[in-house]
Amino acid sequence: MSSSLKALAIRLAPQLIALVVILSLNFIMFPQFFNIVVQNDRLYGSLIDVLNRGAPVALLAIGMTLVIATKGIDLSVGAVIAICGAVAASSIVSGNSLAYTLVVTLAVGLLCGVWNGFLVAILNIQPIIATLVLMVAGRGIAQLITEGVIMTFNDPGLIFFGSGSFAYLPMPVVIWLLVGAIVILLVRRTALGMLVEAVGINRRASTLSGVRTPVLLMAVYMLSALCAAIAGIIVAADIKGADANNAGLWLELDAILAVVVGGNSLLGGRFSILGSLIGAMIIQAVNTGILLSGFPPEFNLIIKAIIILVILIIQSPALQSAAAFFSRKPAESAGMRVEQPK
């Protein structure tokens, strides 16, 4: 157990170091950054704010990690957030109970996932294109549900998911921690995680060796959409309304970024949900830091772009093979040379 913990620490070291560096930069520019106070039975402070504001991207990153591990991508999650927010708002506005609203919203989310999964797993369409369909049409569907207006509501039960608190933590934080823990246990305490990696590394080979690839792919896209639906409820509850145009806009890109920052390869295979969650927090810490430090928010995107670029260069296969070449032990390299004249 301790050796696997050590392996985990080594695997996540770059992400943890990056997070610590960014948090300490925030601390230097804004000394009250780590202050946390308790008010009205809830923790307040910049650190809690990072956890809270990062909730939608963290939730999306959980599902996105598994999708990317199967060598796929899910561009539709932002649109699914808009659809599910619209469904939740219109259901609660038309007088349905909270439980009914939540069930319907999550069911609609799952339906979106079934659609994506059907295109990818059954029709064998490239994931980027298959999910593009829902990304383009999704916002239209969301506007259809809200009839083109920002649908506001003031049901305290639904609002609780955005601004309520549980055990001193804001509700969104509780939700993403809980969902993250459940999914991590699900994929790592069973063989599911390994099967997902197998599909990502070689779909044909895993199908031939008996993995039920279509079922697995379908499940992965359904999970991604389910996470998006939960994020949609949080986003709608946070602003007490459903904004079909702007809810979850470009969050799919942030989620993909979180997964990549978390050290997962876009080419599929090995994955770490914990890494992605740390990645989501890194992104949010950057956002919060830029806001707090009084930097013009205009620089936000440029800094993000630079971070992606740096991480890309570190992860680049070209650079890694160069690094492997230089760090190779002499004996090993001599052995290699015999096998590969190149």
Partner 1 sequence: MNSRYLPLLATIVIFILSYAACAAQYPNMLSTRVAGNLLTDNAFLGIAAVGMTFVIISGGIDLSIGSVIAFTGVFLAVILRNTAIHPLVAFAMVLVITTAFGGLMGAVIHYLKMPPFIVTLAGMFLARGMSYVLSIDSIPIEHEYYSTLTGIYYRLPGGGRLTLIGGIMLIVFAAGIFLAHRTRFGTNVYALGGGVQTAELMGVPVAKTTIQIYALSGFLAGLSGIVFSLYTSAGYSLAAVGVELDAIAAVVIGGTLLTGGAGFVAGTFIGLLIQGLIQTYITFDGTLSSWWTKILIGLLLFAFILMQKAILFLSSLNKRYA
Nearest distance, CB of residue 47 and partner 1, angstroms: 25
Decide if 116 contacts 134 (C-beta within 8 A).
yes
Can you tell me which of 47, 59, 73, 216 binds partner 1, judged by CB under 8 A? 73
Interface segment toward partner 1; rule CB under 8 A; list 153-161, 174-182, 255-263, 283-291: 255-263
300 binds partner 1 (CB under 8 A): yes
In this chain, which stretch among 136-144, 201-209, 217-225, 325-333 interacts with partner 1, using CB under 8 A? 136-144
Q: What separation, in Å, do the N-terminal and C-terminal C-alpha atoms of the chain show?
A: 41
Kindly state the number of chain residues that form the binding site for partner 1, as judged by CB under 8 A: 48
Decide: is 296 part of the binding site for partner 1 (CB under 8 A): yes
- Kindly tell me which of 17 and 310 has the beta carbon lying closer to partner 1: 310
Separation CA 197–CA 271 (nearest Å): 7
Interaction of residue 133 with partner 1, rule CB under 8 A: yes
- Nearest CA to 78 out of 109, 124, 123 is that of 109
Under rule CB under 8 A, residue 135 binds partner 1: yes
State in angstroms the smallest separation of the CB of 177 from partner 1: 27
Among candidate residues 70, 55, 51, the one with its CA nearest the CA of residue 201: 70
Choosing from 140, 152, 154, 328, the residue that interacts with partner 1 (CB under 8 A) is 140
Q: Which amino acid is at 83?
A: I
The residue type at 287: N
* Contact status, residue 85 vs residue 236, Cβ threshold 8 Å: yes
DSSP state of 262: T
**Options 90-98, 198-206, 210-218, 300-308: segment touching partner 1 (CB under 8 A):** 300-308
Contact between residue 249 and residue 76 where contact means Cβ atoms under 8 Å apart = no
Q: What is the sign of the dihedral through the CA atoms of 137, 281, 218 and 233?
A: negative
Write out the binding residues for partner 1, residues 221-250 only, by CB under 8 A. Answer: 244
Residues 168 and 112 sit within 8 Å (Cβ to Cβ): no
Binding site for partner 1 (CB under 8 A): 73, 119, 123-126, 128-130, 132-141, 143-144, 148, 244, 253, 256-257, 260, 266-267, 296-306, 308-309, 312-313, 316-319
